[in-house]
Chain A
Amino acid sequence: MRPTTLVRLALAGTRTDTARVVLTALSALLATLAGLAALTVLAIPTPAATDENPNRWSEQYHNALLVEPGLRGGTAFALLMLMIPVLALAGQCARLGAPARDRRLAALRLAGATPGQVTRLAVLETGVAALLGTLVGLGAYLVGRDLLHRPDGRGRLALPTDVLPSPGALAAVLLGLPAVAALATALMLRTVTTSPLGVSRKAARERGPRPWAGVLIGLGVVSFAAIRPVAQRYDDHGVLVAWLAPLMFAASGIAAMVGVVFGTGWISYHCGLLLRRHARRPAALLAAGRLMADPWAGSRTFAALLAALIFGGGAAAQRAYFATKDQLEREQSRLAGVDGGANPFYLSTMDLVDGAVAVAILIATGGLIVALVEGIVARRRAYAALVATGVPRAVLSRSVAWQALAPAVPAIMLALAVGTLLGRGLIAEVSTGGSSAQICEAAAALCDDPATREQYTRIVYIPDVRRAVPVPLEHLAWLGAGALVAVLVTVGVGLLFLRASTALDELRTA
């Protein structure tokens, strides 16, 4: 098959296929922007230490997250974390219109295409769409960089619009993202056999998921809690700590996240089991059947939302730590009779992190909507047949709501609990004080004069105080409520599509 024919066939299709391509490109665009933003932060040069700038701050920026070299790594990490819901959204989009695409691929097989050609078509479709999105993302990044480059009166910038990532890093994003998208499609198609008569998927096991995800979560949480002791133990081995701590941070965080996502499969199955055992109404019974038949649908659907919530839970624990520390320092200052001003920097930084979590939840909601609508559209003939036999649409609506909400509520709680445990594993206690300070209680002129300073100076002992960081229940409740609202909005949008998908005209199409 000629490459031009391959491209033409890959991009041929119905409106749903077009929507899939557009959404895949859009996801790639967002991922490109997040990736390039992270790389730009990392590309900020750190100046050499001087007498005026001993801390090697990049003083051409407003924001301390960009100014301080020690904070830039975390900022870039947070931006990279935004790629998780975006990539999950891309994964959801790849499933959009899958039945129609499967029929198209089967028709191509019937027309003589080999299995390899059919796989290449699907891979090419995703790869081309992702490449397109990445290129548009690069264009948007460059234009945005130009538009936002507005130094203030002191020549300082709000964003790092004066630096560009290295060409190697740019190329890695531009080629890496489409390659990852294409590879993911190829991997997904490994379980799919496209024959001239249709598409079949390797059958799922009848047995429900095992609770191994719990082990993964446990390992993640425990090893996360071990980061601090390990870092303290090897404090004198600078190099070892420099790579061991970040490695443990990433590995245990990912283990816990994967555990929660896979654990949602187990949760879905057992929600289905409970509903099947105890449900009295047909809506719950229908939902139970679906939850048990494909428990991994919950994992796929909620993955991005849960990842965002784990991150949010961890951030909430971190915020509680900073708030407690701030409060403790104020109390100690008051006790010592010192005017201890609050240091809002860390709490303001947490506002930015919370903003990132909100954006991630928003993107994840987009993915949820795509997944739910796709699930409804894919089953439209079955729904139409049920309506034809007299099943009220309200029953189907309730079954869709049950199916989304029954696993969502425990999964959201689990994700928040794991996120909080991870956060508290690092910092469950605030310790401050145990030091002394000299305080001059006179006018500045007297304090500045060496002859009089000692007369007005007293030494204040600040006791060592330790205080447990409270569990940020209110913050967690808000996060949980936000996530639940996201799921409810998704269900609401899905129900709009349900009405169209139960149109009895569907019965006329085999």
Chain B
Amino acid sequence: MTQLQARGVVRAYGPTPALRGVTLDVAEGEIVAVTGPSGCGKSTLLHCLAGILRPDAGEVTWRGHRIDTWSEAARSRLRRTEFGVLFQFGQLVAELTAAENVALPLLLAGTGRREARTAALTWLERFGVAEVADVRPGAMSGGQQQRCATARALVTEPRVLFADEPTGALDTLTGEQVLTQLVRLAREQRTAVVLVTHEPRIAAYADREVVLRDGLVDHTGLGLDVPLAGGAR
């Protein structure tokens, strides 16, 4: 069942067009990779789908409701409750520990401090970084930081996770480990994932690949069947 839809989305930065009418559906629990060359509009599409940016034309709907017309506060609430967002780097709050970073979305949602910390520790454990729970991002490796960021994006058990080049700053092995965990946990809780990447190997983790070129969907195809650790898929 389609949860998230983009219909003829257009977005420009000044005179430079980024999206020129993109249409895309994301079903519940589906993992969609958005790929394409640099500057083709991948990140802009992800930002429009997540309600971070408003399209100049076209519409974005979430479970039948047009979210592109919503106020910033309403879209912000949607991102906090239904969506998770993951970037390439620089998303953890440098002054908070890993556990506090992961607990932050829960605290924002009104969860009690103790319960939020317990949930954060559980998620850090799932990503294999429980040992850095009380460490600040500056003292962690890139892989540990990205695992914490992924745990933070999933801790509210969002319906859709938007990941913009989530392994772009990591070495190949660490990147694959992070992505394997992300995909496994997303599938476990039936979270849809919109994965922006320019690496075919990363795109291969998806159920479906949408290739953008010059702000338009060039073609859509099935992702490659990559075996994941533990046999999950």
Contact = CB atoms under 8 A, between A and B. Distances in A.
Interface stretch (B24-32, B74-82, B179-187, B199-207): B74-82
Interface string A371-391: 000000000011001111111
B85 A289 contact: no
A389 B79 contact: yes
B93 interface: yes
B161 to A, nearest CB: 11
Given A290-B95, A504-B53, A390 B108 contact: yes
B80 A390 contact: yes
B73 interface: yes
A385 B88 CA distance: 11
Interface residues of A, number: 27
A202 to B, nearest CB: 13
B20 interface: no
Classify chain B: how many residues form its interface, as a range: 20 to 34
Interface string B70-107: 00010011111101110100110111100010001101
Nearest to A392: B76
B47 A285 contact: no
B153 interface: yes
Contact of A391 (B13, B47, B108): B108
B10 interface: no
Contacts, number: 80
Interface string B35-49: 000000001000100
20 contacts: A280-B112, A281-B107, A285-B100, A286-B93, A294-B95, A382-B91, A385-B90, A386-B91, A387-B76, A388-B47, A389-B79, A389-B91, A390-B77, A390-B78, A390-B80, A390-B105, A390-B108, A392-B76, A392-B108, A507-B43
Nearest to A281: B107
B126 interface: no
Per DSSP, chain A at the interface is: helix
Contacts of B96: 285-286, 289
B19 to A, nearest CB: 14
B50 interface: yes
A396 to B, nearest CB: 11
A390 B83 contact: yes
Contacts of A385: 87, 90-91
B66 interface: no
B83 A289 contact: no
A293 B95 contact: yes
Interface of B: 13, 43, 47, 50, 52-53, 73, 76-81, 83-85, 87, 90-91, 93-96, 100, 104-105, 107-108, 112-113, 136, 138, 152-153
A474 B162 CA distance: 57
A383 B186 CA distance: 26
Interface of A: 203, 279-282, 285-286, 289-290, 292-294, 381-382, 385-393, 395, 504, 507-508
B70 to A, nearest CB: 13
Contacts of A386: 91, 93
Contacts of B84: 389
B80 A391 contact: yes
A382 B43 contact: no
A381 B89 CA distance: 11
A504 B100 contact: no
Nearest to A282: B107
A385 B85 CA distance: 9
Given A382-B91, A390-B81, 17 more contacts: A282-B107, A285-B104, A285-B107, A286-B95, A289-B95, A289-B96, A289-B100, A385-B87, A385-B91, A387-B76, A388-B47, A388-B85, A389-B79, A389-B84, A390-B83, A392-B108, A504-B53
Contacts of B108: 282, 390-392, 395
Given A286-B96, A293-B95, A389 B47 contact: no
Given A281-B107, A282-B104, A507-B52, A390 B93 contact: no
Given A285-B100, A508-B43, A389 B153 contact: yes
Contacts of B47: 388, 504, 507
Given A282-B104, A507-B52, A389 B95 contact: no
A280 B96 CA distance: 15
For B73, B85, B112, which residue has the most chain A Cβ atoms within 10 angstroms?
B85
Contact of B94 (A280, A293, A390): A293
